[in-house]
Amino acid sequence: MMRRLFSTLLAFSVAMVAPAVATAADTAAAWPNKPVTFLVPFPPGGSTDLIARTVAQKVGDKLGGTFLTENKPGAGGTVGAAYAKRAAPDGDTILVSSLGPFVISPHLVSNPGYDARKDFDFITVAVQAPNVLVVNANSPFKSLKDVIEYLKANPGKMTFASAGNGTSDHLTAALFWQETQTEGTHVPYRGGAPAIVDLLGGQVDASFSNINTCLTHVQSGKLRALAVTSAKRSPLLPDVPTMEEQGLKGVTVTSWQAFAAPKGLPVTIRDKLRNAIVESLNDPSIKPKLLELGFEIVGNTPAEFEKFQAEEYDRWKRVIEVGHITTN
């Protein structure tokens, strides 16, 4: 009697679980059955927008769906990130963002509208690019050593341009000053392009510019590159040594773009999308173009991205607190 009852309960349990498993599989198989939005929390035309639009087209081809890119800029990317957080976790809204909203803006913007550590399912870091310490070609600074020695002898007299308060190039400069126990003067601009214009014109002394912004000027000889902030030399600037090569550890920095979804995205959809993104980034029609622009393909796993995000979150929190950095 007990054996028959156990068999009946087991059969009932299997019958109840099977539809749920089938439903999850069916959902993943059907997705994308509606247009998918890649939400970029910045204006059109920047690096993040470029990555989103490039990948959207190729992912659509691979998965047989419609992938659109929508821009929702504001407050250092937090407006768009908060919007993405509130979307349904069904795979139809995907946040495509640089590191700012993930690991920097939460420490600079009060009440950003989301918790960067808890409100997203991390899919993959798509690409990364180092910053480059650059000076005008006519600058007296010929090496990283020259810069450090000058800063120590003349605290606050050397100016460093950035794309704005709280940006990657600003925080890289702050980290550099903290690690070398020196002090420079930060000069924020509204974007990387105008910062480079003034550097070319000699109005500022240096910048930890993203390689995408300064590469053509370095290659043309208008700017002198003194160091790259990546762990290894950039293949685009093979003659420029890294910070670590020149004896300075702790200033290994990359700017990066990544994909995430509102918390609760089905794992099957997450993995399906992540695989398509990585395949698209490495597609022969895309990868060489990204490399030419200074992007390095990452394509890590969700678990690797989650660990990386936690490390970056804590790192930039310390830099911002020690440097008393604000967006004002």
Q: State the alpha helices, DSSP H only, in 74-160.
A: 78-86, 99, 144-153
What tokens does 102 get? 């993930």
Mean pLDDT, residues 272-293 taken together: 96
How do the domains of the chain map onto residue ranges?
36-128+255-322, 130-246
Residue with more model confidence, 110 or 173: 173
What tokens does 120 get? 């997203």
Say how far apart CA 31 and CA 273 lie, in whole Å: 10
Give which of 86, 52, 82 is closest to 70, Cα–Cα.
52
* H helices, E strands: number in the chain: 11, 10
- Residue 16, pLDDT above cutoff 80: no
Residues across the chain = 328
Mean pLDDT, residues 21-26 taken together: 53
96 DSSP β-pair partners: 259
Q: pLDDT at position 20, please?
A: 47
Percent with pLDDT over 70 in the chain: 91
Say how far apart CA 144 and CA 156 lie, in whole Å: 17
- Asked if the domains at 36-128+255-322 and 130-246 fall in one CATH topology, the answer is yes
- Residue 1, pLDDT above cutoff 90: no
Q: pLDDT at position 204, please?
A: 98
- Residue 26, pLDDT above cutoff 80: no
Average pLDDT, the chain: 92
What tokens does 116 get? 């960067």
Q: Which CATH superfamily is domain 130-246 in?
A: Periplasmic binding protein-like II (3.40.190.10)
The phi, psi pair for 27, rounded to 5°, reads -60, -45
pLDDT-based confidence at residue 190 (cuts at 50, 70, 90):
confident
Mean pLDDT, residues 254-261 taken together: 97
Amino acid identity, residue 292? E
| Three-state SS at 306 | helix
Say how far apart CA 298 and CA 320 lie, in whole Å: 26
Amino acid identity, residue 285? S
Mean pLDDT, residues 135-140 taken together: 98
Identify the residue whose tokens are 């999308």.
273
Determine how many CB atoms are found less than 10 A away from the CB of residue 138. 8
90-108 tens-digit pLDDT:
999 999 999 999 999 999 9
Q: What is the DSSP letter of 242?
A: B
Q: pLDDT at position 22, please?
A: 45
- Residue 202, pLDDT above cutoff 50: yes
Q: What is the DSSP letter of 246?
A: G
Give which of 225, 217, 141 is closest to 184, Cα–Cα.
141
Mean pLDDT, residues 66-85 taken together: 95
| Contact by Cβ (8 Å): 84, 259 | no
Give which of 312, 272, 268, 322 is closest to 106, Cα–Cα.
312
pLDDT-based confidence at residue 21 (cuts at 50, 70, 90):
very low
Is 3.40.630.30 the CATH number for 36-128+255-322? no
pTM for the model: 0.88
228-250 tens-digit pLDDT:
999 999 999 999 999 999 999 99
Mean pLDDT, residues 149-170 taken together: 95
- Residue 207, pLDDT above cutoff 90: yes
